Structure 1
Amino acid sequence: MLKPSLFLFLLAALPAAAQKPPKPVPPPAPIEYKDGKLSYAPDSLGNRVPDFSYCGYRAGEAAIPTAIIKVTVPARAGDATARIQSALDYVAGLPLGKDGLRGAVLLEKGTYEVAGRLFIRASGVVLRGSGMGEGGTVLVGTGFSRDHLLTVSGRNDRKVDAAQTITADYVPVNARTLKVANPAAFKVGDRVVIRRPSTAAWIKKLGMETFGGGLSSLGWKPGQREVSWDRQVMAVDASGITLDAPLTTALDKTYGGGTVARGIWP
């Protein structure tokens, strides 16, 4: 049997490295490029960098069609707002083609002064220039308004059905599947609107109920920072629906979760 003094001596003689805890293993990188491919690693909640390959015309699965030129607006000195807007309105009144386009308004090479604002109010209308930089088409806002120079908008006449609450406690970033109480209310091909509310609890968690110095009218208010996504239903099963593209923000039931509803355009 070892004497106590000898036992303590042996402990003190152990290498310092043997007494240190092992170094923690770092988590995998959220994005890694290897062998010509990108790979994404989710975190502990399933969040990962969103797959933005779904962005663009028809999710990048079809070539962008070329719109036929219907009107050419020549470059001239002076305010061109009325001339360009008249051409845009004319093309907006033309019928849609099978490719979903009505036609293009062509701006020639040169400088166009725009003292007002331009609006595209119908789908299928293209405003096309004749090149970039020197020797191309340049639009110069000469007015005093801080509004957008070009606004693309439509009619807010979408009919939205009663919303269903998303039943999962947490839906991570990049998710495409949503659990709902009544999946039978949806069918493949439906256009849907997913909403994430901006609740008082969420605003307080971010510390945005005030901008310093106590409560103020500048702080965020519930309902002011809601996020919504327009998606299409690709599959329906007993537990929920699958979307055509992922969500870019998590839905956490602690902060209001989210809802999904059919949205129908006339």
Structure 2
Amino acid sequence: MAIQKVSSFQNVDSQVGALYLVPTPIGNLNDMTPRAVETLKQVDFIAAEDTRNTQKLLNHFDIHTKQISFHKFNTQERIPELIAMLKGGKNIAQVSDAGMPSISDPGHELVEACAAEEIRVIALPGPSASLTALIASGLVPQPFLFYGFLPRKKTEQVETLEKLNLQTVTMIFYEAPHRLNKTLKNLMTVFGKERKIVLCRELTKRYEEYLRGTLADAVAWSNQEEVRGEFVLIVEGNAHPEETQPKKVSGSLKDQVQQLIDDHQMKPNAAIKQVAKNNHLKKQDVYNEYHGLN
């Protein structure tokens, strides 16, 4: 299979349009670039995550381009329409509510569809909450791992964090204010009280601030404060990942569970789960053995 080559500006087929990925301000409207404004004015249509929200931006910059709604709930039905429009020679700009399209926002599936059809995809540089927070955090900026929003359910979130706890690089998460306290508590439970974190709030806006400390500090702060604003969480990587996973133990299944409880202060259910994983068994089988239910 030969590599696919699609030039953005050279040898362009004028009968086929292009998809422009246009970043929008994450708070401060002055971060909108002249190129972004000009692109939104010149394209035939703007595919917007929330047309009402984007209309405020368009009004501010005196942009009169027609909008088409494109969000996570209509992605599958909308993509064929947009591809047909692009093939018909229309240029389309895709925007999310704030920041870069595709980053914790709609966009990836449309780009994928354009790539499959060899339609030009032109990305404009611009605002990004994750990188803005990272470079001002004071934690090691590279390498880093951008995760975005963690799963909302506690069990799924903890399982995800247990896997991420092996990461030695700086990690970036997004979180909403009403879920921040619970997420911080889960981070502290899995990563430990002393892991460094920077809470970056309301970036580029009037009440922008950075709260630096340990996970224990962050939990204590969120317990006392009325949390407001959107957050980017910059979390230090694990300096000793080899100590994170409990070592495999020997003996009967019951003995293995008890040893993890005694040596690593694990809760019974967590120890049962680890023993099941170590022995490639179902958790229920180990649970029954430990509690003498066989």
TM-score by length of 1: 0.21
- Whichever structure has more helix as a proportion of its residues is 2
TM-score computed with the length of structure 2 as normaliser: 0.19
Higher Cα radius of gyration: 1
The structure with the greater share of residues assigned to strand is: 1
